[in-house]
Amino acid sequence: MGTAKVRMQVGKVWVEVDAMSVKEAFQALSDYAEPFRETTCGLCQGTDVVPNFRESKEGYAFYEMQCSSCGARLDFGQTKEGGRLFPRRKDKEGNPLGSNGWYQWQATQPDTGW
């Protein structure tokens, strides 16, 4: 069996993967599905949300979706194995965060436990 190109729309983006099997394509597409299907801001309901990446001076990487309308952010965590991204919708104790994880940064931002 040869490789196949699989193309799928995820949110506002098109993702194309090369895969040797349906299972391999499914796994590769799922890496993109969770982060990029986030197309609406959880605070203002704006639809101009874009991925944002930043790195701290200490070398920590931060992945987030950011609303261009109100400036709200949705932080993403990474799995320990494989480094897959997932939206942070709960605090460290497992309690749901308000606005489905979306927030506007403030200098006195409460600690979410991360």
As given in the structure block, the two tokens for residue 72 are 């709200």
State the Cα–Cα distance between residues 64 and 88, nearest whole angstrom. Answer: 9
Q: Is 28 in the same domain as 52? A: no
Residue 23, domain extent: 1-37
* pTM beyond cutoff 0.85: no
Number of domains the chain contains: 2
Pick left, alpha or beta for residue 59 (phi over 0 → left; psi -120 to 50 → alpha; otherwise beta).
left
Per residue in 9-23, pLDDT (tens digit) is: 998 999 999 999 999
Least Cα distance to 74 among 60, 62, 88, 56 occurs for 88
pLDDT, mean over the chain:
90
Which residues lie across from 82 on neighbouring strands? none
Q: Is 24 in the same domain as 74? A: no
As given in the structure block, the two tokens for residue 67 are 């609303």
Q: Is 106 in the same domain as 55? A: yes
